Structure 1
């Protein structure tokens, strides 16, 4: 197991190194002045050119420039944003929790809704309930995210007026930034209107979370159902049923724990999908996350922000995938044996 962990950590380090090399090379692919693309400064005085050239080692070879880039990344000097002229690391620190919060709640919904529905669909695969769940999963899987989001806005916001159309919280509430996670910051605040602010934040969060959770929920339904049906045909399941155990006992004692082991690996896969879908969801609902910020940066040709956003999102997705792979190996004896 130790050798496996070392191999995985070495692979993670290699992938992150390759990712940093890709992010570094983007500065040479973007149009415009190289020094502006690296620093994020809109206007560079003539007396600053020599100093910045030496700092960024542009007068040396590519290897020296790449090493200087790694040093700046590790030290937190990521440059400035073209749009706001603020440090990129500071902007990312303010925006990333909003995206993580939205993705985390959507992932929880997908597990707590998708796994039970998948198990129910697998108990009697030829029944009416199973076919209804499968039809619902196929419908949700095939539905475009932007169309589903606009449909919910038209129904619950414009039609019924129950939920807000955009934003993270109402303008009447001012929540102090502590962790960046809205619900946690509201609970940590000492405001007299904390309960009202919490309810308002939940109302703002409901529609984008449901939209974002639709696709991974349908994937979890189909994956759990297929995994349960595969386990249900194993010899030890037939032996347990031959001993007189009823369907629920066999499901709880033998089938469920073995069928849910592969589901752990889906956390990383669905998280990467959620990060991708969050970009569209954040734009539609005006959610102040890193996905919307990155798309705005593309429209604004904010090259330093594009470079930093790519590095952060890719590192996050790769790390989560690697972590879930390691957890799956720890919980699965067969995977450890292989």
Structure 2
């Protein structure tokens, strides 16, 4: 087991090195002067230039420049944003919780709906409801996320008028920022309108979370269904039935636990997908997260912000995938043996 963790630690370290090399190379690949791309300063005075060149080690070899870049990243000096002239790291810290909140709720929703429906579709595979779940899942899997989002906006916002179309909370509510997550910030605040603010924040969250959770939910249903069907064909399931165990005991004690082991791996994979799809969802619903911030940075050619966003999103995906892989190994004796 120790050997496994050491190999995983080496792998994640190698990936992080490759990621920082890519981010460092972008300063040379982006249009414009390298010094501007690294520092984020748009107007560099002649007396500042030599000092900045020495600070960023641009008068040294590429290896020394890369080492200096990594040291600055570890120290939290990620340069300035071209558009706002504010530190890139502070802007990321401000917008990142919104994306993490939306993706987390969507992931929870996909598991709450996907696993039970997938199990039901496997147990009742030949029934009308089992086939209906499979058919609806296939249709939902094929729907483009932007088209699905616009349909829900037209139905629930424009036609019925029950849900808002944009933002995290109405401008009527002033919520002090504590954690960056809207609902926890409301609960931790001392405001007198917690109930009203919580309801309003939940209404703003509902449509984006449903849209974002649609794709991973369909994947989870199909994956759980196939995993459960494969487990039900195993010899130990047939032996348990032959011993006279009830259908519930067979499914719960023997089938469910083994069928859900491969599903653990899907947490990391679906979280990676959610972060990618969140960029589209945030633009449609004007959700102030890192996805919308990154797309705005691309439109503005804000190169330091693009570098910082690339690092944060990639590191998050790598860490989540690695943690789910380790979690799967801890719960699965066969994976530990392998």
TM-score, normalised by the number of residues in structure 1: 0.99
1:55-66 matches, within 5 Å, as: 55-66=55-66
- Displacement, 1:136? 1.0
In 1, the alpha carbon distance for the partners of 2:166 and 2:134 equals: 32
- Displacement, 1:246? 2.2
Corresponding residue of 2:91: 91
Corresponding residue of 2:279: 279
- Displacement, 1:94? 0.7
In 1, the alpha carbon distance for the partners of 2:115 and 2:136 equals: 14
Corresponding residue of 1:51: 51
Corresponding residue of 2:234: 234
SS in 2 for 1:173: coil
Query: Would you say 1:202 and 2:202 are equivalent positions?
Result: yes
In 1, the alpha carbon distance for the partners of 2:124 and 2:34 equals: 63
In 2, the alpha carbon distance for the partners of 1:170 and 1:229 equals: 46
> Residue by residue, what CA displacement relative to the aligned partner does 1:253-295 show, whole Å, maximum 9, x if unpaired?
1000000000000000000000000000000000000000001
Corresponding residue of 1:212: 212
In 1, the alpha carbon distance for the partners of 2:298 and 2:164 equals: 27
1:259-298 matches, within 5 Å, as: 259-298=259-298
- Displacement, 1:167? 0.4
Corresponding residue of 1:33: 33
- Displacement, 1:156? 0.3
CA RMSD of aligned residues (A): 0.5
In 1, the alpha carbon distance for the partners of 2:316 and 2:284 equals: 23
In 2, the alpha carbon distance for the partners of 1:89 and 1:136 equals: 42
SS in 2 for 1:260: helix
Corresponding residue of 1:188: 188
- Displacement, 1:248? 1.4
Query: Would you say 1:328 and 2:328 are equivalent positions?
Result: yes
Corresponding residue of 2:100: 100
Corresponding residue of 2:16: 16
Corresponding residue of 1:73: 73
In 1, the alpha carbon distance for the partners of 2:81 and 2:211 equals: 30
Question: Hey, which bits of structure 1, 4+ residues long, moved more than 4 A?
Answer: none
In 2, the alpha carbon distance for the partners of 1:198 and 1:42 equals: 42
In 2, the alpha carbon distance for the partners of 1:136 and 1:108 equals: 20
Q: How many corresponding residue pairs?
A: 338
In 2, the alpha carbon distance for the partners of 1:140 and 1:109 equals: 15
Unaligned runs of 5+ residues in structure 2 are: none
TM-score, normalised by the number of residues in structure 2: 0.99
- Displacement, 1:125? 1.1
- Displacement, 1:249? 1.4
SS in 1 for 2:32: coil
- Displacement, 1:124? 2.0
SS in 2 for 1:191: coil
SS in 2 for 1:261: helix
Unaligned runs of 5+ residues in structure 1 are: none
- Displacement, 1:192? 0.6
Higher deviation after alignment, 243-252 or 102-111: 243-252
Corresponding residue of 1:140: 140
SS in 1 for 2:177: coil
In 1, the alpha carbon distance for the partners of 2:327 and 2:249 equals: 27
In 1, the alpha carbon distance for the partners of 2:183 and 2:123 equals: 37
SS in 2 for 1:126: coil
Corresponding residue of 1:129: 129
In 2, the alpha carbon distance for the partners of 1:177 and 1:20 equals: 31
